[in-house]
Structure 1
Amino acid sequence: MAAARGQLPDATALDGELVVWEAGRLAFERLQERLQRRAAGASRLAQEWPAHFVAFDVLRLACQDTTAWPYWRRRAALETLFTERRLTAPWALCPSTTDPDVVTEWLTWTAVGLEGLLFKGLDSLYLPSVRGWRKYKVRESQDAIVGAVTGSLATPRSLLLGRLDTDGRLRYVGRSTTLSAAASAAVAPLLSPTASGHPWTGWTFSAAWGTKETLTVTLVQPDLVVEVDVDVARDSARRWRHPTRWHRTRPDLSPDEVAPFGI
């Protein structure tokens, strides 16, 4: 990335996001892994998982401050920069549109890891430390099996969720946000202490993605199905990358009626 700076005019500053592309999808976890490495390890991963910078705004262009320009003018300057300088990888221009039909089509690109869209006002200025955009995330309702909880069986605080794979093994898919008092009270009577041979026996679960801190969990009999609200972000292991939001219990469903792991 440092070597690619030569493609830009001197004293140019872009706003954007680093991404890693792997197996036809955006792989956020690969970017996180690169950020945690140093020296030889960082160089090796840079070769294995090259990053791209997706630009969506320009703050300074060849020494000229552009933050006071309206967004439509900054966007035009950004597009001209890519065209005239013929920028190539790792630089990439984020697509932009004002056509609602195109926006609707983009929202179907979830299979490649697109989580949602950003909206900016055409006349908006770039104000430091002020969020000048809005984010719309694609969310959907999904069913999952409760395999463990944080807290206790009597007062669960969050749910660790799984789905069965094609071999009938319970695979971990994600964790819920902290349950409300009402949700905890609804779930608790439906939880059962785990029997011997729980598929997650001996497993550890991280408190947050990319950290080494582990959660203290209580395994439960994996027979309770719940409905959760999720966004579409997945990691390379096909797990939900962000915490899910509990919606309701589904005692009417058995674990084998839940969509299989990876769906």
Structure 2
Amino acid sequence: MDVALAELVSVLPVGRGWWYEVKLDGHRTVLWRTRDSVRLQSRSGRDVTAPWMDIAVAGMELPPGVVLDGEAVVVVDGVISFAAAQSRANSGPARAARLAEQHPALFIVWDVLALPAGDVRARPYVERRALLLEVLAGLPEGSPVQPVSATQDVEVARAWYESLASTGVEGVVAKWGGASYRAGRSSSWKKVRHAETVDAEVVGFTGVAARPRMLAVRLPDGRTALSQRLGAQLAAQVGALLAQVPAGRRERTPGGELYASVESGLLVEVLAGTTRHPVVTVTRVR
């Protein structure tokens, strides 16, 4: 399932028809309730059911045919922890199960893409929101599958943005109430974030795949650039994913730097202010 993406803006849009949702700091996840089981998909399309098995088990309470879009998050000491979500996502089944016992995951849902009766992506946001609340109302009390907080009041949204950063709320997403669910980035979804970052695709690396020194990333404008040298923890996280895919031929950036190309489907965040330069700063894996 190709997911919808929000356009990064500096201020929230205002006017009749806009809805606002809190943006949480976790892992984008699509949940498929099939006839016999549950499958979880990352933003890039990878199967991530194993590390998020507690969410998958909870999803079995949904009717077969339901497809949900949302964020897998982990709360540690009352704060949404991206580091904990990263640890879970990068773990094998046994370690993920141990981490789930310590800090169970939540699946915060902001959209329903399909119901037992069929695909609902063409319906407007306001209708899909109502359908989402209806389907989640059928889950047992205390289910980790929960709807995202949403409001039509921009002042409430601004209060969320200004007061909830310390709890792991990353920002606010504004969605046009009449818009259908469209794959890719569109102007009907806009996000304001505390960290000014953009997403970039990993297309290569320098060093060895298991512990890359730098990443070659494709920026939103199509340019390819090398990153600054990765820190040890970030290199280990990226390396665990790159080691699973074969490296391609040697390529060069527009500036002439050599790197080993790779088709990883991996996305990272880079500081927006560095994208104007030949070397960009990677902040984390998405």
What is the TM-score when the length of structure 2 is the normalising length? 0.49
Q: 1:111-137: per-residue Cα shift (whole Å, max 9, x none)?
A: 101110111110000123344511101
Are residue 123 (structure 1) and residue 178 (structure 2) matched? yes
SS at match of 2:156: helix
Q: Which of 174, 190, 194 lines up with 1:134 in the alignment?
A: 190
Aligned to 1:31: 85
Distance 1:54 1:80 in 2: 15
How many angstroms does 1:71 deviate by? Answer: 0.5
How many angstroms does 1:55 deviate by? Answer: 0.2
Map 1:214-225 onto structure 2 (within 5 A): none
Q: Which of 91, 97, 100 lines up with 1:43 in the alignment?
A: 97
Aligned to 2:157: 103
SS at match of 2:150: coil
Aligned to 1:187: none
Q: 1:211-253: per-residue Cα shift (whole Å, max 9, x none)?
A: 359xxxxxxxxxxxxxxxxxxxxxxxxxxx975858xxxxxxx
Tell me which stretches of 4 or more aligned residues in structure 1 moved more than 6 Å: none
Map 1:1-263 onto structure 2 (within 5 A): 1-86=55-140, 88-107=142-161, 108-131=163-186, 132-138=188-194, 205-206=231-232, 208=234, 210-211=237-238, 243=271, 245=273
Amino acid at match of 2:238: T
Distance 1:12 1:139 in 2: 33
Is the 8 Å Cα contact of residues 7 and 87 (structure 1) preserved in structure 2? no
How many angstroms does 1:69 deviate by? Answer: 0.4
Is the 8 Å Cα contact of residues 10 and 63 (structure 1) preserved in structure 2? no
Aligned to 1:200: none
Distance 1:62 1:35 in 2: 29
Amino acid at match of 1:96: A
SS at match of 1:89: coil
Distance 2:71 2:105 in 1: 10
Amino acid at match of 1:211: V
Distance 1:207 1:39 in 2: 20
Distance 2:69 2:146 in 1: 12
Larger radius of gyration, structure 1 or 2? 1
- Change in 2 beyond 3 A, CA 1:208/1:37: closer
Determine which structure has the larger strand proportion and give its number. 2
What is the TM-score when the length of structure 1 is the normalising length? 0.53
Aligned to 2:217: none
Q: 1:63-91: per-residue Cα shift (whole Å, max 9, x none)?
A: 32111100000001111222244563220
Q: 1:182-214: per-residue Cα shift (whole Å, max 9, x none)?
A: xxxxxxxxxxxxxxxxxxxxxx9338473359x
Distance 2:112 2:66 in 1: 8
SS at match of 1:126: coil
Distance 2:92 2:194 in 1: 34
Is the 8 Å Cα contact of residues 117 and 135 (structure 1) preserved in structure 2? yes
Superposed CA RMSD in Å reads 2.9
SS at match of 1:47: helix
Give unmatched runs, 5+ long, in structure 2: 1-54, 197-225, 241-268, 275-286
Distance 2:129 2:146 in 1: 14
Distance 1:96 1:80 in 2: 15
Give unmatched runs, 5+ long, in structure 1: 141-176, 180-203, 214-240, 247-263
